[in-house]
Amino acid sequence: MTTLAHLLARQARAAPDRPAILLGAQPWATHAQWAARSAGLALRLRQAGLAPGDRLVLFMRNHPRYLELLWGAWWAGLVVVPVNAKLHPGEVEWIIDDAQARWAFVSADSAPHALAGLQRQVDVDSAEAADWLAPLAPGDIGPPAERQGTDLAWLFYTSGTTGRPKGVMLTHRNLLTMGLGYFVDVDAVAPRDTMAYAAPMSHGCGLYAIPHLMAGARHVVPASGGVDPAELFALGRALGPLSTFAAPTIVKRLVDHAEAHGLGPQDAAAAFKTIVYGGAPMYGADIRRALRVMGPRFVQIYGQGETPMVATALSRAHLGDSDHPRHTERMASVGVAQTPVRIRVADAQGLDLPPGQPGEVLVQGDTVMQGYWRNPVATAAALRDGWLWTGDVGSLDADGFLTLMDRSKDMLISGGSNIYPREVEEVLLTAPGVAEVAVVGAPDPQWGEIVVAFVVAQPGAAPDEAALDAHCLACIARFKRPKRYVFVPSLPKNHYGKVLKTALRDRLRGTG
């Protein structure tokens, strides 16, 4: 069947000379060059003894060779294990051992020393890496390894905010379905378009290479390898408007930059075609500001590593439909089910809940993982009766729009009443002087749990407890307001920008 490697082979035949990969504004590879290098890597990996189904670790910063290595591994029939470049080497060694991987391509800044458990470790910037990726002559390029749709392609380890990460098993069919769904639910893509990789390529941003390769578009890795708003605006103006995936923290940086430099929607339109945001909560106040400053550039997606980038989508049209009577509620939602999946909200017994009633979000479809690598207990808990139990709490309205409350583990119960931290956070973010906030529960002998808000003030501001309390009382029920405020200079976050609420709870218990 068609696999991910065949996407590259197809473009190499159909548009061999079209620019495909760029480093900044500089050309790196055409489709034909990309295919010749990836096919060369595949041949050499097979000659070195790697067989289809073996795991290959990519522990490296964003780099144009990331795409060549990724497709080279798939051309050889291997399973890619993408690892965030900011992880500690000890964390990566645990993943290497769990994945039973023996080969890795790394960047020296991520892995300055040899990683335990590997037979071969190659620095992506070295001459050795260039040798592995030396292009084959057109007549020497063999076909991609034969794989089935159910064969593994991407072994993604969850961010592990609580305990050890789990290896999410994603197949060629999972990822091909994700790629095709992008065109229907997220954005149309033309060959002249450019996907920019500023967020980690080891995560969802890198997976969006799949639909852009399907369409024969360009792929650009910023010269900085990361998120520099000035660089991204300049790249978009130089190459044509960019598409990219951004966590809400990255969106905020782009909007801050635009506002600080007096850039409006027309300036943003010259630099950005589409900014897909997701991966963490985007609060209503933040997306309203983003739309005001940068215009209709945005699409929201909700998904998990277990159903990569695919669960729901809040389209550009939904975000822009300000005349709709429920526009405010829709902007606070994560949209409607994407085409490849079905969405339900259920109680603990798996029974559907009526519109407006919160429960656990369940997803079913061809993007849902096969299970967790070597972890049948966790697989059985997450996959039940053909549905993925996401661990997220949300509610569906009568029109099918899903609004997320929190992770099920983040919900707190105070005095017998359920309180969803995100609802309180949304309110506090509209208070004067508040830049960021995270709400958690703290044990309490009288109430069971009390609401505690960790607050980061805006520069030069000094919000006080009395003002924040009054603001909450004006917006939400009294029992939901925080009983305690903790003012902090910043919130702890993982490498994907998600707030580590476990760390905040540990701090309250005096263990962190």
Q: What is the CATH number of the domain that holds 419?
A: 3.30.300.30
Does the pLDDT at position 512 exceed 60? Answer: no
Q: State residue 497's pLDDT score.
A: 74
Does the pLDDT at position 42 exceed 70? Answer: yes
Beta bridge mates, 412: 419
Distance of CA 80 to the CA centre of its chain: 17
Query: Which residue, 206, 216, 231, is CA-closest to 68?
Result: 206
CATH, residue 392? 2.30.38.10
Average of pLDDT values for 162-170?
84
- Per-residue pLDDT tens digits for 204-239: 999 999 999 999 999 999 999 999 999 999 999 999
Residue 282 forms part of a structural domain: no
Judge residue 282's burial from the number of C-beta atoms within 10 Å of its C-beta, 0-12 exposed, 13-18 middle, 19 or more buried.
Answer: buried
Distance of CA 164 to the CA centre of its chain: 19
Q: State residue 86's pLDDT score.
A: 84
Q: State residue 161's pLDDT score.
A: 45
pLDDT band at 1 (very low <50, low <70, confident <90, very high): confident
Query: In 150-280, which ranges are continuous DSSP H helix?
Result: 172-185, 204-207, 209-214, 229-239, 248-260, 265-271
**Strand 448-457 vs strand 484-487: parallel, antiparallel, or unpaired?**
parallel
pLDDT band at 405 (very low <50, low <70, confident <90, very high): confident
Residue 171 forms part of a structural domain: yes
Alpha-carbon span 158 to 174, nearest angstrom: 17
Q: State residue 505's pLDDT score.
A: 87
Asked if 427 and 364 sit in the same domain, the reply is no
Residue 50 forms part of a structural domain: yes
What letter would DSSP give residue 117? T
Average of pLDDT values for 443-452?
83
CATH, residue 139? 3.40.50.12780
Of 407, 423, 442, the residue at which a domain comes to its end is 407
Q: State residue 417's pLDDT score.
A: 67
Asked if 152 and 7 sit in the same domain, the reply is yes
Of 159, 185, 211, the residue at which a domain comes to its end is 185
Residue 462's domain comprises: 412-509
Query: Which residue, 33, 85, 29, is CA-closest to 57?
Result: 85
Q: State residue 159's pLDDT score.
A: 67
Residue 24 forms part of a structural domain: yes
Asked if 382 and 469 sit in the same domain, the reply is no
Asked if 422 and 478 sit in the same domain, the reply is yes
- Per-residue pLDDT tens digits for 184-202: 999 999 999 999 999 999 9
pLDDT band at 319 (very low <50, low <70, confident <90, very high): very high
Residue 76 forms part of a structural domain: yes
State the total domains in the chain: 3
Residue 28 forms part of a structural domain: yes
Look over the chain and give the mean of its residue pLDDT values, rounded to a whole number: 93
Ramachandran category for residue 397: left, alpha or beta (phi over 0 → left; psi -120 to 50 → alpha): beta
- Per-residue pLDDT tens digits for 107-116: 999 999 999 9
Query: Which residue, 248, 175, 251, 244, is CA-closest to 214?
Result: 175
Give percent above pLDDT 70 in the chain.
Answer: 97
Asked if 398 and 420 sit in the same domain, the reply is no
Asked if 403 and 423 sit in the same domain, the reply is no
**Strand 412-414 vs strand 402-407: parallel, antiparallel, or unpaired?**
unpaired
Contacts of 424 (CB under 8 A, 6+ apart): 439, 451, 453, 472, 476, 480, 481, 482
Q: State residue 446's pLDDT score.
A: 76
Q: Which two tokens stand for residue 263?
A: 């850039």
Asked if 499 and 468 sit in the same domain, the reply is yes
Average of pLDDT values for 448-470?
92
Asked if 373 and 477 sit in the same domain, the reply is no
Q: Work out whether the CA dihedral 345, 348, 354, 355 comes out positive or negative.
A: negative
Which helix (DSSP H) or strand (DSSP E) does residue 194 occupy?
strand 194-196
Does the pLDDT at position 255 exceed 80? Answer: yes
Query: Which residue, 427, 7, 466, is CA-closest to 215?
Result: 7
pLDDT band at 274 (very low <50, low <70, confident <90, very high): very high
Residue 446 forms part of a structural domain: yes
CA dihedral 244, 249, 253, 256 (to 10 degrees): 120
Asked if 418 and 402 sit in the same domain, the reply is no
Asked if 76 and 16 sit in the same domain, the reply is yes
Of 372, 407, 442, the residue at which a domain comes to its end is 407
Q: State residue 162's pLDDT score.
A: 47
Residue 208 forms part of a structural domain: no
Asked if 363 and 473 sit in the same domain, the reply is no
Asked if 163 and 26 sit in the same domain, the reply is yes
pTM for the model: 0.86
